[in-house]
Amino acid sequence: MNARFLRRGALFGALALVAFGLAIVAAACNGDDDDDTGTTPIPVATVGKLTILDPWVRTTTNDVTAAYFTVKNSGPADTLVSVKTSISPMAQIHEMVTSGATSSMQEMPNGLDVPANGEVTLKPGGYHVMVMNVKSALKEGDSVDLELTFKNAGTVKLTAHVQKGEAMSGMDMGK
């Protein structure tokens, strides 16, 4: 081995050390991001250009509950047309409608639009999946299977966790 080769070896060694150092810095940064789960919704499923984030179902006090999640879309506009779950034969997509001082909810027969390159969030007081005739009580820590069908992207299955949430106003389904 001549001197030229040795110098080249030293250079490669130095470059490798620099690369190793950068990898450690990158890993440290990623670690910080991973700790920040309190504010960052967790993606649980994807179908086509759609990502489903942070799905949850409210604990029950009777045979009615609701499912919530966020749909992020990195493609063209789509529509959530139906939801199924094994905990009930009846799941409907609902919106809240305010007229005067009262707000009530109603089914969205044409589904819920997911804007192109945008997102829509189902949450208490807003859009939700109404689940009626729930077969057995849901408590914190339980999980619920959901099957979402979108007009363009198709169907995706996922698991939602059960947690406490405020009971919705306008819950009177009989009116």
Binding site for Cu ion (CB under 5 A): 94, 105, 130
Least distance CB 49 / Cu ion (angstroms): 28
Task: Count how many Cα atoms sit within 13 Å of the Cα of residue 67 in the half-sphere of its side chain.
Answer: 31
Please identify, using beta-carbon distances, which residue of 103 and 117 lies nearer to Cu ion. 103
Q: Is 132 left (phi over 0), alpha (psi -120 to 50) or beta?
A: beta
Nearer to Cu ion by Cβ, of 129 and 153: the residue is: 129
φ, ψ of residue 64 to 5 degrees: the values are -120, 140
Closest approach, Cβ 94 to Cu ion, in A, equals: 3
The residue among 49 and 123 lying less far from Cu ion, judged by its C-beta, is: 123
Of 105 and 114, the one with the shorter C-beta distance to Cu ion is 105
User: Which parts of the chain fold into alpha helices (H)?
Assistant: 3-35
Cβ neighbours, 10 Å, residue 140: 9
SS3 state of residue 19: helix
